[in-house]
Amino acid sequence: MDWVDGLADGFREECALVGASVAGGDTTRSDLVVIGVTALGDLGGHAPVTRSGARPGQVVAFAGRLGYAAAGLALLEAGIVPESGPLLEAVEGHRRPRPPYACGPEAARLGATAMLDVSDGLLQDLGHVAAASGVGIRLDPAAFPLAEPVSAAAKELGADPLDWVLTGGEDHALAAIFPPEAPLPPHWTVVGHVVEGSNVQVTGRTAGPGGWDHFRE
């Protein structure tokens, strides 16, 4: 029962961050643990910010963390289970991400024209924005901050930390498109801009399919 109690505690603690609550559920028997969650919300009368509003000349920014979950997963897959320090922070980022919940409504107030959460990798998810908006997106790799846990994990495994930042998705950061004059707070990091064309390009890098695609063979 300790595991079940811990699961319930996790639900309660995460719901408390946004004033939500668990309203019912269904319990069945299975040889595997399968958890499905349906989240219901209310726009409060405001217009939704969709994926289709990006326009050339606007800027691309993100809020939250990128690369932690991918770095933590890579450590665990390599059999490394740290007990402290930056490596443990990366693993904990994989085990329990920290979505920047408040930044979604904030982005809408700041005039975001398109937005989505980064669940399948930044390149993959911004590709959805580019496709829905009929534009191209160009990212500047030098604009991405490399957090110490991500850099430390990359050093430990001999990996490129920017690969995790660009293609790791389970941190559930937010990516949004803003008018260039939008007064973005410091926790929003501008990493690129919208251009004429299609797809997502990373300056100085070959940007093939990146991130998780449920239907890619």
pLDDT tens for each residue of 105-161: 999 999 999 999 999 999 999 999 999 999 999 999 999 999 999 999 999 999 999
Question: Into how many domains does the chain fold?
Answer: 1
Is there a domain that residue 143 lies in?
yes
CATH number of the domain where residue 160 is located: 3.90.650.10
The secondary structure of 116-141, three-state, reads EEECCCHHHHHHHHHHHHCCEEEECH
Segment 74-97, tens digit of pLDDT: 999 999 999 999 999 999 999 999
CA distance 192 to 170: 21
Lowest-confidence region among 26-35, 82-91, 167-176: 26-35
pTM for the whole structure: 0.88
Residue 72 belongs to what domain range?
59-202
Burial of 40 (0-12, 13-18, 19+ CB in 10 A): exposed
Residue 41 has pLDDT above 90, yes or no: no
pLDDT at 28: 86
Q: What is the pLDDT of residue 162?
A: 96
